[in-house]
Amino acid sequence: MKIGELARQGDVTHEAIRHYVHQGLIHAGRDPNNGYQYFDEEALRRVRFIQRARTLGFSLREIGDIFAHTDHGDSPCPMVRDLLSARLPQIRAQIQELEALADRMEHALQAWSDMPDGAPNGHTLCRLIEHWNEPNVSSSTSSPATSPAATATGRINE
């Protein structure tokens, strides 16, 4: 099959197929009559495998390592388990970081809702960010220094 048919059946772009060939993940033959690349069912199987592996977070380099094990007759399954076991705690930590970022963003939007817009005046770039004080806005207590009025302006009462 030609590159277009492989891309369509594999549900990827032509560029992805070219990249996979360049990375050595799939192999193309050449039609001796016209020089076009052609691909066999093994290439389609690999493209579909690449897509599944990508949904589990595997990089193309790691997928290449999996193919290398397979091509040498070795089972890549222990390596696959080890990679995911090592990556899962990292992903969970990233999720926590993103949740904390979303919380900061929500707090900032809430604090900024009553703040006027300001034009740059040579002393400021963006008042919203410059007056954003994360410890004051994200604090769960309502001490005088972090009262709603203080967090709305981003300033600490003095």
pLDDT of 124: 78
Taking only the tens place, the pLDDT of each residue in 36-71 is: 899 999 999 999 999 999 999 999 999 999 999 999
pLDDT band with cut points at 50, 70 and 90 for residue 11: very high
Percent of the chain residues topping a pLDDT of 90: 64
pLDDT of 132: 76
pLDDT band with cut points at 50, 70 and 90 for residue 136: low
Q: What is the DSSP string of the chain?
A: --HHHHHHHHTS-HHHHHHHHHTTSS--EE-TTT--EE--HHHHHHHHHHHHHHHTT--HHHHHHHHHHHHTT---HHHHHHHHHHHHHHHHHHHHHHHHHHHHHHHHHHHHTTSPP----SS-S-HHHHT--HHHHH-SS--GGG-HHHHHHT----
Mean residue pLDDT of the chain comes to 85
Domains in the chain, CATH or no CATH each = 3-74 (1.10.1660.10), 102-153 (no CATH)
